[in-house]
Amino acid sequence: MKVYGVIGWKNSGKTSLMERLVADITGRGFSVSTVKHVHHAVDLDQPGKDTFRHRQAGAREVVLASADRFALMVEHRGPEPELAAILARLAPVDLVLVEGYKRDAHRKIEVWRDATGQPLIQPGDPLVRAVATDALLSLPVPVLDLNDTAAVASFILAEVGLAV
C-alpha cells in the first residue's frame, strides 16, 4: 500500500482537503483508505451499551457489526499505537491518506494558511514534499493551490507512483 500524509496546524483545512482528495482519487478509479490522528480520547461506544460492557469486562477487541459497516474497537491499554501498527491492520488499498501524524516518517503535503497564525512545518521536515496553501509563498518545494483539489491529488498520485 502507498501511504501519503496530509499535515498542518489546527484549522488549516486538512480535513476539508482530505475529504476532497478522497472523492477525487476514488473518482479516478483508485481505492483509498484514511487514517485520522487525534489528540483527544476517542470512544465510539456509549456507557451501558452491550459493546461498552464487553470492553469494560476486559475484551481486547470488540466488533460492532451491521448490514452496512462494522467498527473494530481495540483497547490497547498502553501507549498510543504507532502509525505502522495501524496501517498493518488495514485491508489492502491503492492509497492510504493519513491526516496528522506530522512527525512520522512518511511523505507528506502540508496544508498552510496564514489565518492560523502558525509557522510553516515544511522548513524543518524534509518529508514535507509540497505545501498546499491559499497564500503566495516562495519555498524550496512545490507550492500548490489549496483550492485546486485535482492538482493536489495529481501531485500525490505522482509522488506514490499511481499517476495515470
Average pLDDT, the chain: 91
Q: CB of 15 within 8 A of CB of 144?
A: no
Q: What CA–CA distance (Å, rounded) separates 138 from 155?
A: 18
If pLDDT is split at 50, 70 and 90, which confidence band does 40 have? low
Sign of the dihedral through C-alpha 94, 91, 1, 19? positive
Give this prediction's pTM: 0.89
pLDDT tops 90 at residue 124: yes
Q: Which CATH architecture has domain 2-42+80-159?
A: 3-Layer(aba) Sandwich (3.40)
Query: Residue 122, Cα to own-chain centre: how many angstroms?
Result: 17
Picking from 80-84, 119-123, 141-145, which range would have the lowest pLDDT averaged per residue? Answer: 80-84
| pLDDT tens, residue by residue, 45-97 | 778 888 888 888 888 888 888 899 888 888 877 788 899 999 999 999 999 99
- What pLDDT, on a 0 to 100 scale, did the predictor assign at position 64? 83
Task: For strands 143-145 and 128-133, give the pairing.
Answer: parallel
